Structure 1
Amino acid sequence: MLQSIRVVVADDHPVILLGAEQAMLKFPGIEVVARARQSTELIKALQTIPCDVLVTDLAMPGGQYGDGLPLIGYLRRNFPEVGIVVLTMLENPALLKRLGELGVIAVVHKSDDLSHIALAVQHVSRDIEYMSPQVRVALDSLRINNGGKGDEVILSKRELEVVRLFVSGLTIKEISGKLNRSIKTISTQKNTAMRKLGLDRDTELFQYAQGNGLLNLSARVPDDENDIGEPR
């Protein structure tokens, strides 16, 4: 008899947590062995309960280990033997690209049918990539916009600084005063960062910042020699 795929499910919304578990239980061969609502509970579960695949929300604030990409990076470093299925409402192509770079081969969008979670678990247990339909659309968009190129998106120190301050709630004018740069320069650096990330709207920038853990980090980025010569 084949051994069941042991799954830990993590999501800060009880309805999603229950729905994901119920959807997986409809598939024979999948066993939910633990549930978590934030990263502290999740890490404790992974440290104490044998697990083959983790199904985790990407935005899950409140725990000791954070959420978003920093948490995914921590999980890959400390539990490399555990396959990861990421659940998300975000569909920003740059964010999905970073998940792939971190070694995540399965992503399920929460707007897709919950059955895709179990399908993703089955694929990950065999080390096979799985992307739900909505995620696949976003990834196809990334490939089209990049013209097939796989260059990594890199923001300058000053662009990242402006993004962090903006998503923390400051206006362009307030950031200008805080950093002693002109409003035009701040606006240009924000727009350049959004263009590099493939974002069109401020709401997408907030989603990207949340998924990348930028909302949990210090807004001030120290200057270094890489900033020399950048306009103020």
Structure 2
Amino acid sequence: MKIRVILSDDHPTVLSGVRHELRGASTIEVVTAVGRSDELVEALSRTVCDVLITDFAMPGSGFVDGLPLLQYLRRTWPDMKIVVLTTIDNQAMLREMTNSGVHAVLSKLDDVDHLIAAVHAVYAGATYYSPSVKTKAAAPEVVHRTPQPLTPRETEVIRLYTSGLSINEIADRLNRAKQTVSAQKIRAMKKLGIERDADLFMYAYETGLTTVGSKSIK
């Protein structure tokens, strides 16, 4: 019996390329491919899937993506194995992915042989992290390490900051001193292993902390 795989990525060229390469594996059957997270949920509702290969970020899908989507998939289809195929190399984000319960994480720059190996590994009950992901994350142990959780106040500051508010505006809205808000932002970034604001914005979007234009899952 072949391993039934569903592909999910908002880049048609990626979908086409991955589908073509997987056709060369006699043990794998690509049952369908979708380009939006809402289409993915619909496909999973009507199609049996052993292993899902999905991108982490699919903006403009009309449904949640990133970490909220992975959490939803794990809750709704707990027996399905999830392989994340991504361009993200931020260490904190890689930790978030693995902590969400996915079974494999690979870079889109990896050789296709790693993807085929990952499908076989997760189907057999193992986990798989490609060499490039291990290198970017410093070590497998770092990928698995649970990040220090943010306090509710730190989370609120990061949410507002990545939504476009300045430190002064956040201080006014939350009735806190500017210095307090700034310190909470700095502490949050340190906990997440993030040094640049650009990476903080990406983290907030990828983890669902900032979900502009997405629908929430109830």
- TM-score normalised to structure 2 length: 0.88
Letter in 1 for 2:128: Y
Unaligned runs of 5+ in 2: 213-218
Tell me by how many angstroms 1:161 deviates. 0.8
Aligned-partner Cα distance in 2 for 1:151–1:103 = 12
- Cα distance change of structure 1 residues 141 and 92 upon mapping to structure 2, 3 Å threshold: farther
One of 155, 160, 174 as aligned partner of 1:165: 160
Aligned-partner Cα distance in 2 for 1:47–1:64 = 17
Tell me by how many angstroms 1:123 deviates. 1.2
Asked if the contact 1:8/1:54 (under 8 Å) is kept, the reply is: yes
Asked if the contact 1:165/1:175 (under 8 Å) is kept, the reply is: yes
1:127 aligned residue: 125
- Count of residues paired in the alignment: 213
Letter in 1 for 2:69: L
One of 6, 14, 27 as aligned partner of 1:16: 14
> 1:54 is paired with a residue of what secondary structure?
strand
Percent of pairs with identical residues: 44
Residues 36-63 of structure 1, C-alpha deviation per residue, up to 9 Å, x if partnerless? 1112110111111121100011111334
1:197 aligned residue: 192
1:40 aligned residue: 38
Aligned-partner Cα distance in 2 for 1:41–1:26 = 25
Asked if the contact 1:19/1:114 (under 8 Å) is kept, the reply is: no
- TM-score normalised to structure 1 length: 0.83
Tell me by how many angstroms 1:179 deviates. 2.3
2:172 aligned residue: 177
Aligned-partner Cα distance in 2 for 1:18–1:49 = 20
- Cα distance change of structure 1 residues 151 and 120 upon mapping to structure 2, 3 Å threshold: closer
Aligned-partner Cα distance in 2 for 1:151–1:19 = 34
> 1:177 is paired with a residue of what secondary structure?
helix
Instruction: Indicate whether 1:52 and 2:50 are aligned.
Output: yes
- Cα distance change of structure 1 residues 67 and 176 upon mapping to structure 2, 3 Å threshold: same
Asked if the contact 1:7/1:53 (under 8 Å) is kept, the reply is: yes
One of 57, 70, 73 as aligned partner of 1:72: 70
Instruction: Indicate whether 1:138 and 2:136 are aligned.
Output: yes
Aligned-partner Cα distance in 1 for 2:134–2:113 = 16
Letter in 1 for 2:77: F
What is the root-mean-square deviation of aligned Cα atoms in Å?
2.3
Q: Between Structure 1 and Structure 2, whose CA radius of gyration is higher?
A: 1
Letter in 2 for 1:128: A
Aligned-partner Cα distance in 2 for 1:206–1:142 = 25
> Map of 1:102-121 to 2, 5 A cutoff?
102-121=100-119
- Cα distance change of structure 1 residues 80 and 152 upon mapping to structure 2, 3 Å threshold: same
> Map of 1:79-94 to 2, 5 A cutoff?
79-94=77-92
> 1:84 is paired with a residue of what secondary structure?
strand
Aligned-partner Cα distance in 2 for 1:142–1:198 = 16
Residues 188-218 of structure 1, C-alpha deviation per residue, up to 9 Å, x if partnerless? 111110001111111221221122111117x
Tell me by how many angstroms 1:95 deviates. 2.5
Unaligned runs of 5+ in 1: 218-232
One of 151, 156, 180 as aligned partner of 1:156: 151
